[in-house]
Structure 1
């Protein structure tokens, strides 16, 4: 980054510091699918053991998951999402929907079913009026550009 660069303060950037690479989000995906043990997570993500160990530690330190011992000798642990980790489900659904539309439009590999029985289609809406959020908002706050879009 050039020395005169002025990085924009942004919660997106802050979040990406924690979960902004492939293996972290794939770990969270597997925990949503009920895969809790190291070997299963490694097998389902394709991450090497050293990378997976580092990501699990980082996610635990960030409060996204917690370890629970299920065996004493040798010590073995399962991983569980915290409430903060479960909130990432909405992010994963949005990423999946984007991938389904733009990368796999003919044959999406996975579908999530809502409790009503229909296919879950995530949508971001305004908490105040319920209107769709796509391209309708303007950033405000300390990270916003005062010169506008």
Structure 2
């Protein structure tokens, strides 16, 4: 049984949709792990592979997805040795406080 006005119910529904949409972009296990790992700054592919424990194929796919959605940038260093670096964009960095809050919540409740 609803106690809110139709306007309030519509607004609540929009809030839920925003949360669901956000989680669809960042919500996979590997996306969250990579985004969280990049909070410390720019990292090479192999550094991310070691620190996350992801396979090369999984990490490559996740990084491509995160680039397409605007959370991560890719920089190719062509000097010897050739290296690929990944970093959070402004959009990706804006998630850092969210990760801090989730970590605080997990410390208290999990």
Give the TM-score, by structure 1 length. 0.58
Task: Extract unaligned runs of 5+ from structure 1.
Answer: 1-7, 104-149
The CA deviation at 1:76 is 2.9
1:85 maps to 2:92: yes
Please name the residue that 1:58 is paired with: 65
Tell me the distance in 2 between the aligned counterparts of 1:102 and 1:42.
Answer: 29
Please name the residue that 1:17 is paired with: 24
Tell me the distance in 2 between the aligned counterparts of 1:60 and 1:74.
Answer: 23
Give the TM-score, by structure 2 length. 0.77
1 or 2, which has the higher strand percentage? 2
Q: Aligned with 1:18: secondary structure?
A: helix
1:1-149 equivalences under 5 Å are: 10-34=17-41, 36-71=43-78, 75-103=82-110
Say which structure, 1 or 2, has more relative contact order (CA 8 Å, 6+ apart): 2
Q: Which runs of 4+ in 1 moved over 4 A?
A: 72-75
The CA deviation at 1:38 is 0.9
RMSD: 1.8
Deviations 1:96-123 (A, max 9, x none): 11111122xxxxxxxxxxxxxxxxxxxx
Please name the residue that 1:111 is paired with: none
1 or 2, which has the higher helix percentage? 2
Task: Extract unaligned runs of 5+ from structure 2.
Answer: 1-12
Tell me the distance in 2 between the aligned counterparts of 1:39 and 1:23.
Answer: 15
The CA deviation at 1:75 is 5.0
